[in-house]
Structure 1
């Protein structure tokens, strides 16, 4: 008789995160169902509680991982912030769950900020401030405000309302990226 070998802990944790990504991106924390997540991961609720402590813990871990993955995939480049915004916009198009999870987090977990995410943003703001002090970036906006404007501009196409999408559907993906780059370039007064 074949002996049962449980999956490695890291593999099970990743399967739960992968399943949670799709569920939470479409339904949010409140609407997301652990039953669907565990079924998709070939797991059970006990595993969720073992690895994450709660449904909220799973959601928070997923959001934190998604932000970290985004900064890893598209590292901040203050020497060419406009091009970085274009790459970030493309990343959001390839990984539509990232901006969706961020939106759900703002809506449902605003009272529970994530330390690792806050640290990532604080580090990025510090880089922007350093670039401003070095004269690489303009000082028209405070560093955190400038970064926020760039982040939200990069998210433009991901945040387009379904009622508005038909009005811009002719804008091709390469052109969408260029619109983001051009908008951030204008925001920076022509500096990258």
Structure 2
């Protein structure tokens, strides 16, 4: 094959590989969210992704490693949808609420992770590395007197996330759904903003 033809085809090959990986991750997200790790079947993922099993194992090595890749991919989508602004923790909490509504599979994957992979400690093996930049932002706000200092940055971060999960699709009390009335979603967002504001921010409320 002429060198020119090989060079011209190479970007298409890389693009095809990225597209295949994307299909695999999307199919695996649905499979793992529905069935967990033990119940998931690579055959079903391969059929849904229009990829053969050998390709999946070549990319990821094992079903467990594929699950970890799926979890990391979904974490990235949540982080992108709800970036932390330590100066406005109430908005962070409501952004998480909206992200959970838009992507309920993320919480299902997190639940399966707790049940089958990591029953203790951080949800992610690289949790400390992922949280470090956020904790630094919270610490900076504490140094400026904007966030209460009687909690550690990690405690602030964990509790804001816990509050954002109050009506999450996996809630053990009342589970929110995207089909709920807009007024109900607005009421929950306002309640979250008030709770987070009064729990962690110092000074006068901005609500």
Q: Please state which band the TM-score falls in when normalised by the shorter chain.
A: 0.7 to 0.9
How many matched pairs? 185
- Distance across 2 between alignment mates of 1:106 and 1:133: 34
Which residue of structure 1 aligns with residue 7 of structure 2?
Answer: none
Residue 153 of structure 2 is aligned with which of 143, 149, 152? 143
Q: Give the TM-score, by structure 2 length.
A: 0.79
Return 5+ residue gaps in structure 1 as ranges: none
Which of structures 1 and 2 has the larger relative contact order (alpha carbons within 8 angstroms, sep 6+)? 1
Q: 1:79 touches 1:136 (CA, 8 Å); kept in 2?
A: yes
Which residue of structure 2 aligns with residue 88 of structure 1?
Answer: 96
RMSD value, Cα? 2.5
- Distance across 2 between alignment mates of 1:140 and 1:26: 40
Rg larger in structure: 2
Cα-to-partner distance string for 1:2-49 (whole Å, 9 max, x where unaligned): xxx987111111101001111111221122221221111111221211
By how many angstroms is 1:164 displaced?
4.5
Farther off after superposition, 169-178 or 60-69: 169-178
By how many angstroms is 1:116 displaced?
4.4
Which residue of structure 1 aligns with residue 8 of structure 2?
Answer: none
By how many angstroms is 1:179 displaced?
2.0
Moved over 2 A (4+): 111-118, 163-166, 189-192
Q: Give the TM-score, by structure 1 length.
A: 0.85
Q: 2:148 touches 2:202 (CA, 8 Å); kept in 1?
A: no
- Distance across 2 between alignment mates of 1:179 and 1:113: 26
1:72 equivalent in alignment to 2:80 = yes
1:129 equivalent in alignment to 2:139 = yes
SS in 1 for 2:67: helix
By how many angstroms is 1:85 displaced?
0.6
Residue 97 of structure 1 is aligned with which of 93, 105, 108? 105
